[in-house]
Amino acid sequence: MVLKNTKNINSQQLIMDYKFLKFKNFYLSTKQGFSLVELLTVMAIMIIMAAVLLVNRNESKPAYDVETGARQVAAQLRALQNEALSGKSFDTNADGIADTIACEMRFNTKANNSMEYAYKISYYDCTVPIKQLIPGSSQDFNIGKKFVNYRDVMLSENVDYYVKFTPPQATVSTDLPFFGAEPGILIKSRDGTKTNLVCVYKNGRILETKNAVCP
């Protein structure tokens, strides 16, 4: 009797083990990859995330453009200012000798080729009876990298203003409009939603600000 019960128990265990193994194999075979519904769900989530990132980038781009423009313009002005303090000479007759000393370093808010560039710098010679541009010294510049250009930002509403520095003390002279108590260069995004200022002070201070007026 005991042997019979033991045999029955072993048979039942074998049946249960077989059923479990069959179920396990079936389960694993159905979980080897994503189902179509799961794949579509993942793709939908990725599309939504990409759309959110794109919207955020488009919203932040104007602010980035004007900040880039303000930093670059301020750096350019400071470079001209330093040249006015240290002196800058040009080789105007191609003899390998820098024989023409610049008496004025000038920044203009409008380039020679204003359809493709944002601003220009130039240098002037005062050794002649009438002050004149040193040949080959004028250069147009764009703002930032390729994706920040004259179409993305606008300097001083596309009006041609100047800032000039005169050696040896880098004396500042400008016809820039005033924003509050001080003159400045307005950097505006193409869509007009973002602006920055580069303030130019009589004492030589050059300041970038997001304020509407120069502090």
Say if 28 falls within a structural domain.
Answer: no
Q: Are 174 and 183 in contact (CB under 8 A)?
A: yes
Say if 107 falls within a structural domain.
Answer: yes
Say if 5 falls within a structural domain.
Answer: no
Give the CATH number for residue 173: 3.55.40.10
The count of structural domains within the chain is: 1
Q: What is the pTM of this model?
A: 0.71
Say if 165 falls within a structural domain.
Answer: yes
Range of 110's domain?
A: 56-209
CA distance 135 to 82: 21
Tens place of pLDDT per residue across the chain (215 aa)? 444 454 555 566 555 555 555 555 555 555 555 677 777 777 777 777 766 665 555 557 888 889 989 999 999 999 999 999 999 999 888 888 888 999 999 999 999 988 888 899 999 998 888 999 999 999 999 887 654 555 678 899 889 999 999 999 999 999 999 999 999 999 999 888 999 999 999 999 999 999 999 99
Say if 11 falls within a structural domain.
Answer: no
* pLDDT attached to residue 25: 58
* pLDDT attached to residue 164: 98
* pLDDT attached to residue 93: 80
Say if 7 falls within a structural domain.
Answer: no
Report which residue type is found at 128.
V
Say if 22 falls within a structural domain.
Answer: no
Report which residue type is found at 211.
N
CA distance 166 to 164: 7
Say if 30 falls within a structural domain.
Answer: no
Q: What is the dihedral of CA 27, 33, 34, 36, to 10 degrees?
A: -90
Q: Are 150 and 143 in contact (CB under 8 A)?
A: yes
